[in-house]
């Protein structure tokens, strides 16, 4: 069963917005923020925790999107349950 064209366009739009957000955060905000932290004399481990926190904040929406897409396109339960269990564990 194919998704309606409107649904596909919406999903492509979200994908482009997400890619743009990743580029801005990783190429623009992250280096600037680490530079600012370094120039203010922040300890190295605090900078590392900041970078890790940014990556966690980027990974959570990606995970939610993947789970939502998985549930939307649920068509082979026996195979998909196996793969989902492997990924979650």
The DSSP annotation for 3-56 comes to PPHHHHHHHHHHHHHHHHHHHHIIIIIHHHHHHHHHHTT--HHHHHHHHHHHHH
**Residue 86: per-residue pLDDT:** 67
pTM score, whole prediction: 0.66
Range of the domain at 28: 5-88
Residue 23 and residue 88: Cα distance in Å, rounded? Answer: 27
pLDDT digits (tens, 9 = 90+) for 12-69: 777 888 888 888 888 899 999 999 999 999 999 999 999 999 999 888 888 888 777 7
**Residue 40: per-residue pLDDT:** 94
Q: Are 58 and 25 in contact (CB under 8 A)?
A: yes
Pull the structure tokens for residue 79: 């195979």
Largest Cα separation within the chain, whole Å, is: 57
Q: What is the domain count for the chain?
A: 1
Return the closest-CA partner of residue 63 out of 88, 81, 82, 83: 88
């Amino acid at each position: 069963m194919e998704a309606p064209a409107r649904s596909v366009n919406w999903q492509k739009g979200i994908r482009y917005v997400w890619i743009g957000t990743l580029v801005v955060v990783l190429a623009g905000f992250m280096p600037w923020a680490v530079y600012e932290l370094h120039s203010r004399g922040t300890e190295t481990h605090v900078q590392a925790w900041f970078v890790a926190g940014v990556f966690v904040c980027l990974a959570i929406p990606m995970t939610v999107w993947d789970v939502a897409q998985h549930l939307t396109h649920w068509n082979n339960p026996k195979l998909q349950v196996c793969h989902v269990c492997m990924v979650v564990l």
